[in-house]
Structure 1
């Protein structure tokens, strides 16, 4: 462990930390934000903290559970989780030394409930802003932007904020007018696990890993595959993940006659996902809103480069021309894929080595060290 000093509270006991996140990693719609919150929780626990993971509850989940020494407390659904969690925090307002309030579009407004002595850190993966209009009507989207912008800015103005990437830090300043301290604590990644790569046999294999939701724009990847098959009849697109867009994507694949070229795998175990990724030529994303690109780094750890649009978060996770290729917004991803496959044919070993080296610079231990130092320094200043 990088940090020898252990986290302690005011007394002799361990530091009491509340990790407040809208979902846990075992829910059906969980993604990178949930993995981040859990990994940071585990890192803090390893450094001596007593961590409570406060989140929503899916049907069939236990209201309380102990995993890896972390207590999970679940309550509420899509909308009710916010008032229910706020009420729970109010009832336990003196139970925590530190709270990490994860703002996935809307924060939990924990400063309204917790004791004044509790140190609160706001965690932001990416700024939603216009993304609210992708999922909501004008009124609800406007409310969401108001809560994320002026309300959150005022409520958390004197508290430290954690962003997961330089892009998110810039977005906080430029689009939300954030003036308080912003610290970058990046995602970690699994240790590099290079495996035998895909064979360059003219039948490229492309994998997309992520939630099947609107802003990921997976329909663009399906359409792209239809265009690529004209010149690459063996092309295959593998989509790994689950979400609300599954039915629409299945219908699109069927309507375009792409059943032999696009496969919806749904949820896969880590080993099965890694095996599929390791045997692919490219990992791909058409997302328009990201705070980082956890699946990009996971693919890179297996020596697989990524093609994506040049948008916030993804431009941080990809080193253009070295560990992947960035397309301009509006550019046809099929053209970028063609360029990537051509470069892979010429310098595949070099690109694979660059990918694994890049992924090796991100570890959950180093991210835990950064969060540990931020908490320790903030407590010392109190």
Structure 2
């Protein structure tokens, strides 16, 4: 269903504009999509450049395999730096892939006729006030919901789920301009290296991702607090880094489960996969996700996942009642976690289904679909 053969066209000169790259300490699923598809495109003979923000210790230029990485500006300064870079170098590219994390790079303003593709993972309506507060959040939402659709009114879009495609339609973006390309999945060539990893002896939950307010990891902590008497040895593993960590530690302490919540920080790929393989259930308590890459990563280890049904793309990365569960609210999340922790047979059934589902997604397929899409756009413009 998700596989597609690659039929590369002529080599293209491709510029990605992305807020962060994979080395950035706050990199997440959007950056993974950028990096993995960029690798596929470069491997297929395209000349790929990624312009992104600088961060502490970062070099201005580097290579990620065959992908050239150029860094300029910081968290917000990256936007004018990217426009300046595009304006000075637009003759060197055939197409711009503008990754919109809430606010896009406004690249049509500097592209001078160069084709621009807007890549959106999800709409940020609920996240703006959480991150910037009510006043600035309202400004951010106006930029995302009104200004961006106007500036990109002649541009095609790419997104990672039908849910986000529908959300974009609500902002006035014609669905006929939006191509859905599902995220791939990291499938190590020798996945047998994790065959010896055993499930934790005691019940365990895991969340994986950036530690920021809109990921709502407090909900996972509250699950542990609600079930601590029923499962006296229950542990929660929080994997990832971010400025919200101290708030989460304080929340766990206030809930009386500080000793049950383990903060691992940022970990390497091997450690991440081993933690996913050890966990009984993975939780994604975020209020909004374009896809939910962690869910299919967990599936490779036959680890079922639970998320909120209103979070968007998770309704596609989880096949509810087959590979995991979708919760209506916090009380339902607690009940569903309880149901899986208590039933080893059900966990195993969902886990095996999740493994089959996860293996149907690959970055090669995602890269091929993106390649075909942008090749057609460039050919049509020519």
User: What TM-score bracket applies, with the shorter chain setting the length?
Assistant: over 0.9
- The answer to whether 1:306 aligns with 2:301 is no
- The answer to whether 1:188 aligns with 2:184 is yes
1:341 counterpart residue number: 341
The alpha-carbon distance between structure 1 residues 197 and 64, as it changes in their structure 2 partners (threshold 3 A), is: closer
Distance in 2 between the 1:17 and 1:226 partners? 49
1:268 counterpart residue number: 267
Structure number with higher helix proportion: 2
Unaligned runs of 5+ in 1: 9-13
1:291 counterpart residue number: 290
SS in 1 for 2:96: strand
The normalised TM-score by structure 2 is: 0.93
From 6, 19, 28, the equivalent of 1:22 is 19
Query: 1:109, CA displacement in angstroms?
Result: 0.7
Would you say the 8 A contact 2:205–2:237 is kept in 1? yes
Superimposed CA distance per residue, residues 69-127 of structure 1 (whole angstroms, 9 cap, x where no aligned partner): 111110111111111211111111212101100010011011111231x2211100001
From 98, 101, 111, the equivalent of 1:104 is 101
Higher relative contact order (CA 8 A, sep 6+): 2
Would you say the 8 A contact 1:206–1:238 is kept in 2? yes
Question: How many equivalent pairs are there?
Answer: 373
The normalised TM-score by structure 1 is: 0.93
The alpha-carbon distance between structure 1 residues 286 and 349, as it changes in their structure 2 partners (threshold 3 A), is: closer
- The answer to whether 1:379 aligns with 2:378 is yes
1:127 counterpart residue number: 123
From 128, 135, 140, the equivalent of 2:136 is 140
Alignment of 1:65-84 (within 5 A): 65-84=62-81
Distance in 2 between the 1:327 and 1:4 partners? 37
Would you say the 8 A contact 1:239–1:263 is kept in 2? yes
Query: 1:159, CA displacement in angstroms?
Result: 1.6
Would you say the 8 A contact 2:291–2:316 is kept in 1? yes
Query: 1:349, CA displacement in angstroms?
Result: 3.6
Mean Cα deviation higher: 87-96 or 134-143: 134-143
1:327 counterpart residue number: 327
- The answer to whether 1:365 aligns with 2:360 is no
CA-atom RMSD in angstroms: 1.9
Would you say the 8 A contact 2:17–2:96 is kept in 1? yes
2:42 counterpart residue number: 45
